[in-house]
Structure 1
Amino acid sequence: MSPEVLWPKAVRSAVKTGPDREIVSAYPYRNACPTSVWASLIDGASQQITFAGYTNYFVWQEQPRLAARLARKAQDGCAVRFIVGDPDSEVTRRREAAEAVPLTVGTRIRITLDALEKIKHSPGIEARFSDEHIALSVFTFDDQMLVTPHISNLLGHESPLLHLRRLGEDGLYDRFAAHATALWQNGRPIWPDDGTTTTTS
């Protein structure tokens, strides 16, 4: 029987029975999500971590000793990937004009690049440029994910955030994970001499 038959309307309104079961929490602002949630997801992941935010700047500011934690994760076999915007691209320049703040998008990206430079030789840590995710940030931690759709000219911390957990095929998690995978496959190596090749299919 379908959930509509099994569950009275009053119960269905309080118990998730559809694709929204994958939504663990929703926050009207990214910075309303506790830093402890981010820490738990980062430290709890063992297979893969992907930071597909356009700048990823805030994670270095909010997570103590992040570089060392990620390097240790990578050494233990966890694949760590960063997908960031190109600080010199036209997409970045347009976003800087829209935000019109002193700490520019390009500067925030370069802070991430500087942090990554210090750990780029740790096996398992990779990074690529992409200009295709200016309006959507996806951060994956094994079977959990944090997603931020960026609103208008607002900064990332002012946009909403969803905490998702994968529960089945082709759900919300898988849809956003496919987006992150496409970004990675079409991305450009940040360190051209590191042996990384760009996949376009």
Structure 2
Amino acid sequence: MNQQLQSVLAQRGVSPDALAGACEVDPKTVSRWLAGRLPHPRHRFRAAQHLQVSEAFLWPSPAPSAQTTATPVGLGLIGTYQNRASVPRDLWLALLLGARKQIEVLVFSGTFFAQSNPEVARMLANRAAEGATVRLCFGDPLGQAVALRGHEEAIGDTLAAKVRASLTYYRPLLSDAGCEVRLHDTTLYTSLFRYDDHLLVNPHVWGRPASANPVLHLRKTEESGWFDHYARSFEDVWAAARPWTPDPEVTPAHGQD
């Protein structure tokens, strides 16, 4: 099954018959696409355009065949974006709605993650209710790593305040089974956003906010590639992070990122 296409159709409220009409193909053809068949390039383009999502998300490049003698550089890379703002909002939503097994986020503050989608906490809770494991890891506002990063970005204590503001969005998740929020005090070289076998990687550059840096869209493959490389780093940071226990007297206003 093409789960990406299925989830985007559901999110958009577009029926297979409607997509067939937009692409000028028989509805049975769209059924075959949903079953996993790769459409003709012109149909891939028209479908992605109609659904307003990247073609690479709907139909990622296949993994190398067993006859390939050399492992290509960037195994698992299916898309790149100039900066975080260039990642379509629809892609964030489609990945979140399509996740069935796990959702993992590793950031310092990540306020954009909630502010670009005010329903994100409810959506995460729904994914957890359907059986997905949700793990969110933010920078410890009292830790040295957040203080250092704030100094490097020349914003001082503002980053710690942004972390506290961001956490207020996720307070309702603490009572939900399948959801966990932790705080880390590690030097963070990359922000990570995992949805099952898809991973958005946002590298950090000294002195520049994460939002100004490129984003890589990776997909897990049968061979160990970039996806596994970054996924392991999440596990390492998560293992050293502490559970978040919010102070009921601290309710900062939502900040900006």
Report TM bin, short chain.
0.7 to 0.9
The equivalent position to 2:81 in structure 1, one of 20, 24, 27, is: 27
Aligned to 2:133: 79
Query: What is the alpha-carbon root mean square deviation over aligned residues?
Result: 1.9
Q: How far apart, in 1, do the equivalents of 2:117 and 2:157 lie?
A: 19
Aligned-pair distance for 1:181? 0.9
Q: Is 1:151 aligned with 2:205?
A: yes
> Which structure carries more relative contact order (alpha carbon 8 Å, separation 6+)?
1
Aligned pairs for 1:32-47 (under 5 A) are 32-47=86-101
Letter in 2 for 1:128: R
Secondary structure of 1:120's aligned partner: helix
Instruction: Say whether residues 1:90 and 2:144 are aligned partners.
Output: yes
Q: 1:3 offset after TM fit, Å?
A: 4.4
Q: 2:173 matched to which residue of 1? A: 119
In 2, Cα distance between the equivalents of 1:146 and 1:61? 18
Any conservation in 1 of the 2:114–2:120 contact (CA below 8 Å)? yes
Q: What is the CA-CA distance between 1:19 and the residue it aligns to? A: 4.6
Q: State yes or no: 1:164 paired with 2:218.
A: yes
Distance 1:175 1:132 in 2: 18
**Structure 1 stretch displaced more, 100-109 or 65-74:** 100-109
Say if 2:112 is the partner of 1:66: no
Bigger Rg, structure 1 or 2: 2
Report how many residues are paired. Answer: 180
Q: TM-score when scaled to structure 2?
A: 0.66
2-side partners of 1:108 and 1:63: how far apart?
17
Identity between Structure 1 and Structure 2 (%):
30
Runs of 4+ in 1 over 3 A off after TM superposition: 1-4
Give the TM-score, by structure 1 length.
0.83
Establish whether residue 134 from structure 1 lines up as the match of residue 200 from structure 2.
no
Partner amino acid, structure 2, of 1:160 = P
Matching residue's letter, 1:151: V
